[in-house]
């Protein structure tokens, strides 16, 4: 089974899905990400799916689960680069990806994550000190 | 209406996780050959992915047959999934959005049906399951 | 029945769950905490679950209830140290722990509580959500 | 598909609160023996905890039977809960997220099902309830 690599950039974990995900790989990514969030104290997760040709209900669920798990672990997830054909298909399939934040591209996604982390109360207090 | 002609056909065994990926890839290649639009390619590949996973998980494995079809002058793709698994007792229920007996999202059958032009499901308890979907070019 | 001890550190109540919680113990903790918040005027509650191997719907509900009750009593609750496997399981179980603030570890949790207390509610009101 | 073999089995009575904790602990030990991943151990223990509580609260007490199972070459764990309680009249409803007759979160049955690989529920009003779940190694 292939494994999707996870990169760390400051307080953000970066994932770029470049392969056609088999279910076991998707599950492993979910678990690897949760572990890395806890191990690194990352506050953001950015998942680039611009190379992903289809998102079926299994992969869609993986994205929702990653978003929910990261939230429980005090990190924010953004999914970027979804292709228009994938977005249309997802909607017809019946998946809404509720709870998953999306952005157009990596740059916009990183901005969104930076904003989410900067407005945290502890950060505000840290600056006031 | 003109009759449907089959001009190419290929069989894929579905035994392991990775076979679901193979079905997707072969379905994509065929959809490109049939000159489906990018959106239609994406839809039929996604539908095939859902059904291949069902064949594996609920059917205990089986086969997919991919076909290039033509009903002059329109080209299209067809894929049939067959398994000898437990079958489906209540087909209408299985086709309901959100219904799952396995902890999935319950969108595989219902969603796949929405994504294609033709959808046939044949199943009975103990007699296995066959699903055939077709997507036509525009 | 075992009882989970509650420690007081300044204006914060500290709980570290070290045992496999039976339901009655979870309920007792919920009640003990409410009483101690009122008795001590604590402004923060920190619950360390780093030793907790599973959070099922009963324990998850306890955490949500503690967070909600403390809020009503003018205190903030932070849950820290959730294991990655617990986070994934919680989400698949269907629990979102909505309303429960989380942080990576005790240190980050205490910072968060300090910030919440220092920044008075009316100051935060403009920023919230 | 190879047949399922049972290689170890243990019974736990579920009469009091503390028995739910015992089920969790024994389930964990068995999942470790079956070499499940940490995440899969956590999932099956959590599912067992939900079902043990239902056996106690709704079933009025009962029994859990824990088994180490094997379908060559895969190992797994299975746990069955049985009670002689009032049973469940509408099983589909009981399996719906959020449905509870007892003031719970209504996630016990539906959530447990999502956490495991196989889930069987047999129940009828007056005839008690049996739930069997299985989690396989990867
Ligand atoms: N090939 C099959 N063999 C037996 N049962 C099936 C098969 N495909 C689907 N089913 C049944 O139909 C239900 C609904 O399927 P689906 O809509 O794909 O949702 P999901 O895959 O999320 O369970 C499944 O949970 C299963 O009970
Ligand atoms: N062993 C059982 N015996 C009788 N009824 C049960 C049993 N287990 C579950 N139920 C019924 O199914 C409902 C849903 O159960 P569940 O999903 O576990 O939610 P909760 O435990 O929060 O009520 C229960 O409220 C109860 O009515």
**CA-based nearest residue in chain A for residue B40:** A85
Report the b/e string of A39-59 with b at 16+ CB within 10 A. Answer: eeebbbbbbbbeebbbbbbbb
**Helical pair D38-57 and D17-33, crossing angle rounded to 10 deg:** 150
Alpha-carbon distance values, B69 to B32, B91, D131 (Å): 13, 27, 46
Q: So what's the pLDDT on residue C120?
A: 52
Q: Which of B129, B126, B127, B128 is nearest to B112 (CA)?
A: B129
* Ligand of minimum distance to the alpha carbon of D119: 1
Statement: residue D7 has pLDDT above 60: yes
- Residues paired with D11 in a beta bridge: D65
What percent of chain D has a predicted confidence (pLDDT) above 70?
99
Task: Decide if pLDDT at C127 tops 50.
Answer: no
Average pLDDT of span C50-74 = 96
Give dist(CA C24, CA C3) in Å, integer: 9
pLDDT at C124: 43
pLDDT tens per residue across span D63-90:
999 999 999 889 999 999 999 999 999 9
Cβ-Cβ contacts under 8 Å, B61 against chain D: 1
Question: Residue B1 pLDDT > 90, yes or no?
Answer: no
Cβ contact, residue pair C23, D20, below 8 Å: yes
> Taking the CB of residue D129, how many other CB atoms lie within 10 A of it?
24
pTM of the model: 0.91
Q: Given this model, what pLDDT does residue A122 score?
A: 45
The pLDDT value recorded for residue D31 is: 98
| Residue pLDDT, tens place only, A38-91 | 999 999 999 999 999 999 999 999 999 999 999 999 999 999 999 999 999 999
* Strands (E) located in chain B: 5-14, 62-71, 74-83, 118-123, 129-136
Distance C104 CA to ligand 1 centre (A): 38
Give yes or no for residue B2 having a pLDDT over 60. yes
What is the set of domains in chain C, with CATH numbers?
Answer: 6-124 (3.30.750.24)
Domain of D100 in residue numbering reads as: 5-136
**Which residue does chain D place closest to C64, by CA atoms?**
D105
pLDDT of residue B6: 92
The structure tokens 């952005």 sit at A103
Give the closest residue to D70 by CA, choosing from D40, D41, D36: D36
How many residues are there in chain D?
138
Query: Of D82, D100, D124, which is best to mutate to test ligand 2, by the most ligand atoms within 8 angstroms of its C-beta?
Result: D100
Mean predicted lDDT score pLDDT of chain C: 91
Question: Using only C-alpha atoms, what is the Rg of chain D?
Answer: 14
Q: Does pLDDT of A126 surpass 60?
A: no
Instruction: Give me chain A's average pLDDT, please.
Output: 91
Q: Do A24 and D39 touch (CB under 8 A)?
A: no
How many angstroms separate the CA atoms of C49 and C80, rounded?
6
> Do B79 and B64 meet the contact criterion of CB atoms below 8 Å apart?
yes
D71 C-alpha vs ligand 1 centroid, how far in Å?
A: 22
Query: By CB neighbour count within 10 A (0-12 exposed, 13-18 middle, 19+ buried), where does B138 fall?
Result: exposed
Q: What percent of chain A has pLDDT over 70?
A: 91
Query: How far is A10 from A12, CA to CA, in rounded Å?
Result: 6
Is some CB atom of chain A closer than 8 A to the CB atom of B84? no
Determine if ligand 1 sits within 6 Å of the CB of residue B55: yes
Q: How many domains does chain B fold into?
A: 1
**Is the per-residue pLDDT at C7 higher than 80?**
yes
Averaged over B36-51, what is the pLDDT?
98
Best of B14, B103, B106 to mutate (most D CBs within 10 Å, chain D): B103
The complex's ipTM works out to 0.90
CA of B111 to the centre of ligand 1 (A): 12
Q: At what angle do helices A84-93 and B38-57 cross, to 10 degrees?
A: 50
Domain of D86, CATH number, reads: 3.30.565.10
pLDDT of D51 over the 70 cut: yes
d(Cα B66, Cα B44) in Å, to the nearest integer?
12
Nearest 5 degrees, angle CA D33-CA D114-CA D31?
Answer: 5
Reply yes or no on whether the pLDDT at C126 is more than 60.
Answer: no
Interface C-D, measured as beta-carbon pairs within 8 A, has a size of 73
Per-residue pLDDT, averaged over C24-43, amounts to 96
CA atoms of D80 and D93, how far apart (whole Å): 21
**Given this model, what pLDDT does residue C128 score?**
40
Average pLDDT, chain D: 95
- Measure the CA–CA gap between C61 and C65, rounded to whole angstroms: 6
pLDDT in the model for residue A119: 60
């Amino acid at each position: 089974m292939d494994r999707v690599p996870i990169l760390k950039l400051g307080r953000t974990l970066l994932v770029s899905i470049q392969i056609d995900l088999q279910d076991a790989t998707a599950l492993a990514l979910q678990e690897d990400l949760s572990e890395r969030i806890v191990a690194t104290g990352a506050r953001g997760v950015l998942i680039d799916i611009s190379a992903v040709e289809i998102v079926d209900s299994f992969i869609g669920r993986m994205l929702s689960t990653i978003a929910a798990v990261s939230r429980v672990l005090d990190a924010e997830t953004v999914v970027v680069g979804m292709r228009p054909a994938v977005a249309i298909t997802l909607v017809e399939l019946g998946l809404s990806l509720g709870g998953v934040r999306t952005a157009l591209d990596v740059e916009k996604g990183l901005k969104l994550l930076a904003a989410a982390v900067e407005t945290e109360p502890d950060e505000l207090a840290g600056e006031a000190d | 209406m003109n009759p449907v002609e089959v001009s190419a056909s290929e069989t894929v065994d579905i035994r392991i996780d990775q076979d679901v990926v193979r079905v997707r890839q072969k379905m994509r290649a065929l959809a490109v050959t049939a000159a489906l639009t990018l959106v239609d390619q994406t839809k039929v590949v996604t539908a095939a992915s859902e059904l291949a996973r069902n064949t594996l998980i609920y059917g205990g494995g089986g086969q997919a047959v991919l076909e290039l079809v033509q009903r002059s002058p329109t080209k299209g793709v067809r894929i049939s999934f067959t398994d000898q698994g437990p079958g489906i007792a209540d087909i209408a229920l299985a086709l309901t959005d959100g219904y799952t007996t396995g902890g999935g999202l319950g969108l595989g059958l219902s969603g796949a049906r929405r994504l294609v032009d033709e959808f046939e499901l044949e199943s009975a308890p103990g007699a296995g399951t066959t699903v055939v979907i077709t997507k036509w070019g525009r």
